[in-house]
Structure 1
Amino acid sequence: MKSLCVYCGANPGATPRYAEAAQALARALVDDNVALVYGGGKVGLMGVIADEVLRLGGEVTGVIPTALVEREVGHTGLTRQFIVKDMHERKAMMAQLSDGFIAMPGGMGTLEELFEMLTWSQLGIHAKPIGLLNVEGFYDGLVGFIEHAQGQGFVRPQHAALMMVEAEPAALLRRFKSAA
């Protein structure tokens, strides 16, 4: 794996543990010589992980729509920054640049990006690993819902298994490597 896309909140969340996990994931990426691809923002967990990867000497590629640059939330110190037309172009470029996807705690945008990559994998559009960094049990409810949807016949077991879930960054990266 040369680069991983990380989806995460544009807010810091309710506990400092989320930022600590973003920093830990940044360290794990740099230790494994894996570049970060992310949404290009300087705020929230997005800013935390980008700043930490850069501080540790790693590479960071941001992909941000023009509308968000204009709101002054774009990070200005990245290794590479692509400014794109809209969110659709952003997601497609992030997917193209990445060898896998990790969702950290985040809001609606994080969930939307995660589920798009899961759907693309289910449809055979890509075969890249997808994981949840389940910090402090943040995604326990989502994991339970996927299990419920599977039990109700809406999600096949092999599709539910596409989503690797770990509480620690290093454990998730090890699973990604073993899946490759």
Structure 2
Amino acid sequence: MTVTVFCASSTRVDGRHVAVAAEVGAELARRGHTLVTGGGVQSCMGAVAAAARAGGARTVGVVPAGMPASQEVPDGANDELVLVSDMRARKAEMDRRADGFLVLPGGIGTLEELLEIWVARTLKFHAKPIVILDPHGVYGRLRELMEHLLDEGFNRPAAVEAVHYAADIAAAFDHLEAEHRLLSAALQQT
């Protein structure tokens, strides 16, 4: 399975989030998956890729040409480093390669990536599993907001149900794998 991980590349991130990202990379490798990230070497993004490679996983980084080094430094150790024209092309390439999405805490860039794939799944442009791994409760208010939008009539139940939340790394991967198996079986029957 190829798992696209959306996460922080900010160097200001608390070390506990970087540690979780490294654990995610190690678990991904242990399970024999391929990793796709935004291709940066810093912070959570760099940690997940380095740990995945250390465990023997194949890593793919997707980097926009012309990204300022002050924002993100490309990780040249990736097995494949894909250069794309801009941020929209980056997300499209990461989405295209994914069998499933794992979202770690991050800033507005991570939220943009999450919301785009969430909307696409809700509108049935894809059926790939989306898991938000949130062991420290960073996305608690986002979850509450989505429930509130449902209560107010702005969200449909399908939108809220399109994303699975996990606080545990193994549970996050278990869900991704189970959903991927179901999707694969359904595609084989058509």
Judge same fold: TM > 0.5, yes or no: yes
Amino acid at match of 2:50: D
CA distance in 1, matches of 2:121, 2:46: 28
Give the aligned partner of residue 46 of structure 2. Answer: 47
Contact 2:30 2:55 in 1 (8 A): no
Question: Are the equivalent residues in 2 in contact too, given 1:149–1:155 (CA < 8 A)?
Answer: yes
Equivalent positions of 1:4-153 (< 5 A) are: 4-68=3-67, 73-153=73-153
Alignment map for 1:140-179 (pairs within 5 Å): 140-179=140-179
Between 1:27-36 and 1:67-76, the stretch displaced more is: 67-76
Counterpart AA for 1:170: A
Instruction: Give the aligned residue type for 2:168.
Output: E
- Partner SS state of residue 67, structure 2: helix
Shift of the 21–70 alpha-carbon distance from structure 1 to 2, 3 Å rule, reads closer
Q: Aligned equivalents of 1:28 and 1:135: distance in 2?
A: 15
5+ long unaligned stretches in structure 2: 181-190
Query: C-alpha distance in 2, partners of 1:50/1:14?
Result: 16
The number of residues matched between the two structures is 179
Q: Say whether the 8 Å CA contact 1:7–1:38 is kept in structure 2.
A: yes
CA distance in 1 between partners of 2:44 and 2:161 (Å): 26
Q: Distance in 1 between matches of 2:177 and 2:8?
A: 25
Give, in whole Å, the separation in 2 of the partners of 1:66 and 1:90.
Answer: 10
What is the Cα deviation at residue 15 of structure 1? 2.9
**Further displaced range: 32-41 or 8-17:** 8-17
TM-score by length of 1: 0.94
1:16, distance to aligned residue in structure 2 (A): 2.1
CA distance in 1, matches of 2:46, 2:68: 14
Q: CA deviation at 1:13?
A: 5.0
Question: Moved runs in structure 1, 4+ residues, more than 6 A?
Answer: none
Greater shift in the superposed pair: 19-28 or 73-82: 19-28
Instruction: Report the CA distance shift for 1:5/1:34 in structure 2 as closer, same or farther (over 3 A).
Output: same
The residue matched to 2:136 in structure 1 has which SS? helix
- Cα RMSD after superposing both structures: 1.4
